[in-house]
């Protein structure tokens, strides 16, 4: 008798959480997609194939404004977190800038 009562109590609690309206519809996705170039990557083509010297890095920082910039060399460990305003500067095997992307 106590065993059936112990099983019935959690079921009553769960049924109370469902509410009278039933399950709610979840939105299909984000209300608006993030801007494709929120980090300013599209404006930096003139820096492709340059070495990331202090002067080049300062020029890139000046071109994109106040935001985080991450330089990624081949084999570097990077976090998988996505930040649309962060500029990623990818370097090639030769150490030169090969790609700009947001994230």
Question: pLDDT for 51-60, tens place per residue?
Answer: 999 999 999 9
Helices (H), 1-103: 2-18, 54-64
pTM: 0.65
Q: How many domains does the chain have?
A: 1
| Residue 78, domain extent | 41-102
Rg of the chain over Cα atoms, rounded to whole angstroms, equals 25
Q: CA 101 to CA 89: how far, in whole Å?
A: 7
Q: CA 46 to CA 94: how far, in whole Å?
A: 18
In this prediction, the residues of the chain whose per-residue pLDDT falls under 50 are 31-33
Determine the 3-state secondary structure of 26 from DSSP.
coil
| Per-residue pLDDT, 17 | 57
Residue 61 in domain: yes
Q: CATH code at 58?
A: 3.30.10.10
Residue 76 in domain: yes
Dihedral sign for Cα atoms in the order 91, 95, 96, 98: negative
- Residue 89, classified by CB atoms within 10 Å of its CB into exposed (0-12), middle (13-18) or buried (19+), is buried
| Per-residue pLDDT, 66 | 87
């Amino acid at each position: 008798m106590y065993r059936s009562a112990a099983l019935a109590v959690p079921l009553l609690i769960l049924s109370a959480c469902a509410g009278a309206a039933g399950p709610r519809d979840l939105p299909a996705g984000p209300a608006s997609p993030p801007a494709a170039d929120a980090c300013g990557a599209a404006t930096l083509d003139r820096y492709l194939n340059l070495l990331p010297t202090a002067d080049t890095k300062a020029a890139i920082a000046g071109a994109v404004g106040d935001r985080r910039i991450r330089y990624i060399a081949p084999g570097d460990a990077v976090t998988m977190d996505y930040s649309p305003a962060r500029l990623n500067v990818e370097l090639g095997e030769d150490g030169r800038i090969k790609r700009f992307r947001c994230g």
